[in-house]
Amino acid sequence: MKKVFVLALMLIGAYTNGFAQELYVFTEPASNMPTKSIGVRITNEGMFNNPGFVSRTIPEVMIGFNKNLMMHAQGFMSDMDGKYRLEGGSLYAKYRFLSLDEAQSHFRASAFGRISTSRRPTYSRDINLEGDNSGVQGGLIFTQLLHKLALSSTLGYAHAFENYDRQIAGMPQPKNIFSYSLSSGYLVLPVVYKDYKQPNFNVYLELLGKTDPSSGQSYLDIAPAIQMILNSTTRIDLGYRFQAAGNMDNRYTKNMYLLRAEFNFFNVLK
């Protein structure tokens, strides 16, 4: 009887191991790039708020320097201030300082920092260092894998640089913002792995929140997303975020879709 139980446990282990997903769509996990690898992303964001539809394109390159240090460089282009133009760029670095790996679970923790530039004037207290504001950000990411479920939490604090020369009279001039998120991911397909060619299909649900400490304005968004992974190298994301609660005015990301393609090149750096 005991043997049967142990055998059953081993089988469950074999079939659940490696099935959780943590390649979140709206946030970054504690660790995503292998050493000496390059990832290339192209992201399209569409926003339906201010005043009509506007869109942004974000090309991005990611590099894994070693098992702990990863870096991303992004460019931002949009038609948000009239004609389609280059609006800025961002550098993001992430250092993984804790890895506790077990057969069917792991816990990772990383510290991250970001510096961004943008030539856009500000219309909202919502500091968004991926296109809308110039500034710096620092924070922590904790990612936990529990069998099929992967959970991740990000805590960040951002400071926006002054941009008096581009400031529009009467518009808010945000200084600082707290950001927090809770992400969950679940792999739906394949049920049984056979080879690298099988497509993976994942579903995500993320909660994305920010609070402006000076005004007390805040919001919380709900962001569902789906993802396909092809040939174990290419990833396609489609997500939508909408506001569940909040009192922050003139937000761009309030109702936004995100469409992304990512291509990974493993072990290409010397």
Partner 1 sequence: MKAIKIFSIIMLFFAANVSAQQISSADLQVTGLTCSMCSNATQKSLETLNFISSVKPDLNKNIFVLTFKKDANINLDLVRKKVQDAGFSVGGLTANFNFNQVKIDDKGQAVVDGNVYRFVNAKSKTLNGTVKASIVDKNFISGAAFKKQAATANSDAYASGTGVVNGKKNTYLPFSSFLR
Give the footprint of partner 1 on this chain (CB under 8 A).
14-15, 17-23, 31-37, 64, 66-67, 99-103, 106, 145, 150, 187, 192-196, 198, 200, 202, 229, 232-233, 235, 264, 266-267
Query: Minimum distance from CB of 209 to partner 1 (Å)?
Result: 25
Residue 70's nearest CA partner among 101, 105, 35, 41 is: 35
Name residue, tokens 């304005």. Answer: 217
Q: Which is nearer to partner 1, 13 or 138 (CB)?
A: 13
CB of 150 to partner 1, least distance (A): 6
Beta strands in the chain (DSSP E): 38-47, 54-64, 69-78, 85-102, 105-118, 135-146, 149-160, 176-189, 200-211, 218-230, 234-246, 255-265
Task: Give least dist CB 238 to partner 1, A.
Answer: 17
With beta carbons less than 8 A apart as the criterion, state whether 47 and 55 touch.
Answer: yes
Residues 6+ apart with CB under 8 A from 207: 181, 182, 183, 220, 221, 222, 223, 244
- Pick the closer one to partner 1 by CB: 33 or 127: 33
Taking the CB of residue 220, how many other CB atoms lie within 10 A of it? 15
Write down the least CB distance from residue 32 to partner 1, Å.
Answer: 8
Task: State which residue, 83 or 270, has the beta carbon closest to partner 1.
Answer: 270
Cβ-count burial of 206 within 10 angstroms (0-12 exposed, 13-18 middle, 19+ buried)? buried
Q: For residue 5, what are its two tokens? A: 């139980």
Using CA atoms of 162, 119, 240, 234 in order, give the dihedral in degrees to the nearest 10: -120
Nearest approach, Cβ of residue 7 and partner 1 (Å):
14
Report in angstroms how near the CB of residue 234 gets to partner 1 at its nearest. Answer: 9
Give whichever of 110 and 218 is closer to partner 1, judged by the CB atom.
110
Q: Which residue number, 22 or 212, has a Cβ lying nearer to partner 1? A: 22
Q: Which is nearer to partner 1, 97 or 193 (CB)?
A: 193
Burial class (CB within 10 angstroms; exposed 0-12, middle 13-18, buried 19+) of 121 = middle
Q: For 167, which DSSP code? A: P
**Backbone region of residue 267 per phi and psi (left: phi > 0; alpha: psi in -120 to 50; beta: other values):** left
| Shortest spacing between CB 23 and partner 1, in angstroms | 7
Cβ nearer to partner 1, comparing 20 with 177: 20
Residue number with CB closer to partner 1 (136 or 230): 230
Min separation Cβ 100 and partner 1, Å: 6
